[in-house]
Amino acid sequence: MKILKLSICMIGIALISSSCELLNPQPKSPVEAKATTIDNISILPEPLNTAAGGSSFIIFDALSILSNPSQEKNQTALISGLEERIGFAPELIENNRDYQITLSVAPLSKEEVWMVDTTNEALLNEAYILEISEKNILLKAATDEGLFRGIQSLLQLVPNQSMTEGEQEVYVLPTVKIVDMPQMEIRSAMLDVARHFFSVEEVKRYINQLALYKFNTFHMHLTDDQGWRVEMKNWPALTEIGAATEVGGGAGGFYTQEEFTELINYAAHRHIEIIPEIDMPGHTNAAIVSYPQLNGNGKTPEVYTGTNVGFSTFDANNEEVYAFLDDILGQFAAISPSKYIHIGGDESHVTKKKDYIKFVERVEALVRKHGKVVVGWDEISQADISGPAVVQLWNNEENALVGVEKGMPILLSPAKKAYLDMKYNEDSEFGLNWAAYIELEDAYNWNPSTYFSDLDPSVILGLEAPLWSETIYDSASLEYLAFPRAIAYAELAWTQSDKYNWERFKTKLKSHGSWLEKQEINFYRSTEIDW
């Protein structure tokens, strides 16, 4: 009797198990897992810690993503990124099964991030753990931002070419565990849209490219002698006159406030913060020609389409200037969620020094009044700024050191190392060479953390790669100067400096070439890389 009951129970269990498999069938891979090595893991920037699993995860048409309603934006980013690479959108499922991707936002334990030695919350917010086994992928982070950074690493692991198994197209990923976080708080690129105007779609394209390589900040140089590029309520001439042209006399253009907000939101969905720059007191001809009462150089202003610098200035002793700027800065503060507003401050050659200092101090107070923190090029350190501020090194290292003495952290953008508008060599199709020729190896082979050998690295807030637009005018010319150097700067800012390795970077970058080509990115084919 006991044997009969046991048999019935076993039959029941088998039926239940069979029923569960019918309700939630487990997919079967059309190909066996293949052995891999760490050489297959070509993630850039280089992660903090990578442990290869020695096997593989097979992507085929049964790939799914475990639905997580709290991660709708990241799920969308992952699905669209995968669809772009593998040609189909993975299914969102409600129950666990094999060959699925799970996105998890939860605090990371000390055991999980044992090699991370920092208390910097901004850096920890971008940490993630990516675990790929033969049948599942788990991506964990403490924040949505960290999860997004991990998604970029996962997408980079998807090969650009599939394998054919019978009638099935499959993609082979290495099994691996990655624990990763950034070295620097700000990892930025700048685009000058004042000298040549770039459309909303062109800017979005660049933001997308930067997001894949874990940039988290995008500095927009919005005003200069040649153009004012954002609509300002109450000041229509800024766009009617100030935005009408550009270098070379082209049509120019501007963003409505709604379009600028669209760009801010587009970047924010990719966890990139846009910092607006209104350059002053120099580089202000477009504003001055629109409203001549702001002029401080004693000459009749005219529309300018050349590339000279240093000839324009606001009148630092005119209260109308500060009333104008109070309104302008207030409007930018209202539409920009960034904690920062960049006030430029460079190359004010015709502004008397005492007037320059007075001006910077007055404008910093206005920025602070509107709840923001000032960022300025290294000349601003001459002023005695009352509130917090960031000094951005571009030219004069002594200025940056003075800023540190006054309590300012440094954002590094030394022109001779980090300017994306510098030519690669004398044969470069675009760019300038006043600071240096910057080949890819030159862009990579330096250490931002020890750029100032006598400074505590903690005063380095981050690294920015500016791209000035005297010689570029569309996405193709932009991309020629930006890539692949922007990827090198991404690694210098993200990766721990003891992991910098030019030979390893070259090898990994080679594997990214086919992806850049697939995206029709007009990158410079450096002869230093065996593409």
Measured CA to CA, the distance from residue 214 to residue 216 in angstroms comes to: 6
Q: Is 347 a catalytic residue?
A: yes
The token duo for 46 is 């280089």
Q: State the DSSP string of 167-202.
A: TEEEEEEEEEEEEE--S-SEEEEEEE-SSS---HHH
Find where tokens 């209104």 sit. 278
Phi, psi of 208 (to 5 degrees): -60, -45
DSSP 284: -
CB 152 within 8 A of CB 211: yes
Question: Helix/strand/coil (H, E, C) string of 411-460?
Answer: EECCHHHHCCCECCCCCCCCCECCCCCCCHHHHHCCCHHHCCCCCCHHHE
CB 468 within 8 A of CB 482: no
Residue 101: CA count within 13 A, CB half-sphere: 28
CB 324 within 8 A of CB 235: yes
Find the angle CA(381)-CA(386)-CA(388) to the nearest 5 degrees: 75
Measured CA to CA, the distance from residue 197 to residue 473 in angstroms comes to: 7
The token duo for 483 is 């890539």
Which of 482, 510, 420, 422 lies closest to 205 in space, CA to CA? Answer: 482
Chain mean position to CA 526: 22
Phi, psi of 86 (to 5 degrees): -115, -5
The token duo for 223 is 């005003």
Residue 428 neighbours by CB distance under 10 Å:
18
Measured CA to CA, the distance from residue 186 to residue 163 in angstroms comes to: 39
Which whole-number Å values give the CA distances from 202 to 95, 245, 470, 477, 485, in the listed order?
40, 18, 17, 11, 19
| CA Rg value for the chain | 26
Adjacent-strand bridge partners of 282:
none
Residue 469 neighbours by CB distance under 10 Å:
24
The token duo for 136 is 């599942």
Query: Active-site residue among 46, 185, 246, 347?
Result: 347
Question: Annotated catalytic sites, by residue?
Answer: 347
